[in-house]
Amino acid sequence: MTIMVMKMSAGASPVATGDTPRTQQGRPVPQMKLEEVNRLVSLIEQYEYICLIRTESIGSKQLQRIKKALRGEAVILMAKNSMMIRAIKQATTKKGLTELIPFVQGSCAFAFAKANPFELNEMLHKNKAKAPAKAGTVSPKDIIITAGNTGFPPGPLISELGQVGLKTRVQGGSIWITEDHVVVEAGETVSRAQALVLSRLGLEPYEIYLKLSAAYDSGSVLSAAVFEISTSDIIAQFQEAAQAGRFVALAINYITPETLPLLLQQANREARSLVFATGFLTDEAMPDMLARAEQQASVLARTLKEKNPEAMPD
């Protein structure tokens, strides 16, 4: 598959007048918009999984990076919400698709993929993009600037670095930061001065990724909460359930292809214990019983000799 990112414009809902769709104001809907909606409808009908992704936190630069990383895995199309809703309504071949409409809100886009939504969600998480710290935003983590050469010659930057608490010195014709420093603490609002310094130093401290908000799968619409469980989590849960099932089967002596070898081993151990407890001789138990008797005799002999050295010959 090929990722394609397109920005579509919106028009008012068309009102049918004869053969020409018209807006609520009575004007003909531009042919370009009709073709764009038709393209969305075509993709909806072509792909098995129709997903919605959140794009409000993704800049165009970061989107292009993610697009490049996911090339060959998905098709992403951005459009105005009204056009996305119109395409969903027109794609009548997928039963229950209109349940996606309530999720078409805010800044979002279509994501079409042959991989199921859980696999797509994992791919989106893995393909993160670096992002700068913007003034006025709350930092989700500490932002640390480490000591080292900035590469900048002495000048106004020394003052700017000092404003955000960085200690500097001039060495070899460039500005050096002498100590590591937490410029922005987690939960703190990034100031204009902090954002400017981070930008000047070329630092992009955050990692962002596209997030699934909903997905259509075989007649059902899954919300974002469902995707919080990864494929690896689901596999781990199945493994735990299988292990618990084996324990129950062993406890009640329930025979399955998986439990039969373990049950036979358990039965063999119990039979051997019973043979030793009763002294019942069998061909299989004889070597072990003789070895056990010899061991007990040796222990007895040592004990007697300790109490009376003359009682046992050397």
Instruction: Provide the b/e sequence for 76-93 (b: ≥16 CB within 10 Å).
Output: bbbbbebbbbbbbeebee
pLDDT for residue 313: 63
pLDDT for residue 20: 63
Domains 15-131+208-228 and 143-203 belong to one CATH topology: no
Pairing between strand 75-78 and 20-22? unpaired
Cα distances (angstroms) measured from residue 86 to each of 9, 89, 107, 170, 257: 13, 5, 16, 61, 54
Predicted model pTM = 0.56
Cα distances (angstroms) measured from residue 229 to each of 28, 159, 206, 237, 296: 46, 48, 23, 10, 59
The third-level CATH classification (topology) of the domain covering 15-131+208-228 is Alpha-Beta Plaits (3.30.70)
Domain definitions of the chain by residue range: 15-131+208-228, 143-203, 235-307
3-class secondary structure per residue, the chain = CCCCCCECCCCCCCEEECCEEECCCCCECCHHHHHHHHHHHHHHHHCCEEEEEECCCCCHHHHHHHHHHCCCCCEEEECCHHHHHHHHHHCCCCCCHHHHHHHCCCCEEEEEECCCHHHHHHHHHHCCEEECCCCCCECCCCEEECCEECCCCCCCHHHHHHHCCCCEEEECCEEEECCCEEEECCCCECCHHHHHHHHHCCCCCEEECCEEEEEEECCEEEEHHHHHCCHHHHHHHHHHHHHHHHHHHHHCCCCCCCCHHHHHHHHHHHHHHHHHHHCCCCCCCHHHHHHHHHHHHHHHHHHHHHHCCCCCCC
Which residue's structure tokens are 């960085």?
Answer: 166
Architecture of the domain delimited by 143-203 = Alpha-Beta Complex (3.90)
pLDDT for residue 22: 67
CB 135 within 8 Å of CB 188: no
pLDDT of the chain, 314 residues: tens digit per residue: 444 444 444 444 454 444 566 666 777 777 888 888 899 999 999 898 999 998 887 778 777 777 777 777 888 888 889 899 999 999 988 899 999 999 999 889 999 988 888 888 888 888 777 888 889 989 989 999 999 999 999 999 999 999 999 999 999 999 999 999 999 999 999 999 999 999 999 999 988 788 889 999 888 898 888 877 766 777 888 888 888 888 888 788 888 888 888 888 888 887 777 777 777 767 777 777 777 777 877 877 778 777 777 766 66
CA distance 230 to 69: 20
- 31: which 2 tokens? 């042919």
